Amino acid sequence: MAKQLISVVIPVYNEESNIVWFYDELKKQFDDLPKYDFEAIFVDDGSSDQSIKIIKELAGKSDGVRFLQFSRNFGKEAATSAGLGVCKGDAAMMIDVDGQHPVKLIPKFISQWEAGFEVVIGIRQSNSKEGAVKHYGSKLFYALLGSVAGTKTVPGSTDFRIIDRKVIDEFNKLTEHSRMTRGLIDWLGFKRTYIDFNAPARHSGDAAYSYSKLIRLALHGFVSQTTKPLQFTGLLGFIVTVGSFLLGLFLLFEQYIINDPLKLNVTGTAILALFLSFLVGLVLICQWLLALYIESIHNETQNRPLYIVSDKSTK
Ligand code: UDP
Ligand code: MG
């Protein structure tokens, strides 16, 4: 029987010090898996360091290495999509190059895939050096997404996953621009299972995702999965209107009809100021929500390509 091919899709952004180390680790894993061939697809996401040079050298030396080079930085989501778009494997393993997705777990992912699971998802248990903001931020994101969007995403889900050829083909049909790979794969469904892992610190280099980039990604991931927040805006407006009406009635009654037994001494101006600032705040929240959606619509209707490839391997 012909060997099965596993594609390994690796987004790379300024990782010059990690690439060779990563590839060696990867090769070691597959040396112990004689049943499989692998192709490593490095997608250089517009790195400004020596990453692409190192990748090209590697591709020149090793048969199993292919690469795509982006014309500029398009983000990890675009890089992953590009890799999945060109991969030839019976399954594709998505993995970070910085060592935070332990390479030695790949055989475990493959064995679950072989057992019939079409999507095998790595669940991050802890992340040494992650920091409280990222940790609780991601917890909050998943809690919100789960309750509001109804997308079943297990907390701690990462992009560290293997997906079957069937899933790759469906994924490649998706056309939206503002994308979060994880969310889209979760949306596709298919038979899935989970593998827990602990994320070690980066092998070297610094995380390229700043907080502002992560927040943008989370927000867009959110609005691309659900339009429920728009309805929530309406609900909020309703609650506030009814609430302020009742409060107004109470104050009127307390102050002017039964002559302020609580000694509140509320002035009319104070009440007005309070309501004004409250309502202005609400209107702003609603506008912000709308803006998020309009931004998404704008990005979709522009219909630009997700990424621009400036160079690729001939293999
Ligand atoms: N990455 C990318 N494009 C970017 C930022 C990151 O392709 O704009 C790659 C990066 O090289 C790494 C993976 O995505 O392989 C995860 O990035 P990082 O380690 O910076 O993020 P974190 O560990 O915080 O998720
Ligand atoms: Mg990382």
Minimal-distance CA residue to ligand 1 atom 21: 207
What is the predicted pLDDT for the residue at 138? Answer: 76
Q: Which ligand is nearest to the CA of 76?
A: 1
Predicted model pTM: 0.72
Beta strands in the chain (DSSP E): 4-12, 36-44, 65-70, 91-94, 119-127, 157-164, 192-199, 309-312
**Residue 12 in contact with ligand 1 by CB distance below 6 A:** yes
Q: What are phi and psi of 194, to 5 degrees?
A: -125, 150
d(CA 261, CA 91): 74
As a three-state string, the secondary structure of 108-163 is: HHHHHHHCCCCEEEEEEEEECCCCHHHHHHHHHHHHHHHHHHCCCCCCCEEEEEEE
d(CA 1, CA 18): 35
What does the pLDDT profile of the chain (315 residues) look like in tens digits? 678 999 999 999 999 999 999 999 999 999 988 899 999 999 999 999 999 999 999 999 988 899 999 999 999 999 999 999 999 999 999 999 998 899 999 999 999 999 999 999 999 886 556 677 777 877 777 777 777 666 667 778 889 999 999 999 999 998 887 778 888 888 888 999 999 888 888 887 777 677 787 888 788 777 777 767 777 777 777 788 788 888 888 887 888 888 888 887 778 787 787 777 778 777 877 877 887 888 778 777 777 888 999 899 887
Gap from CA of 213 to ligand 2 centroid (Å):
14
Gap from CA of 11 to ligand 1 centroid (Å):
7
d(CA 204, CA 18): 6
| Ligand 1 pocket: which of 51, 96, 211 to mutate (most atoms within 8 A of CB) | 96
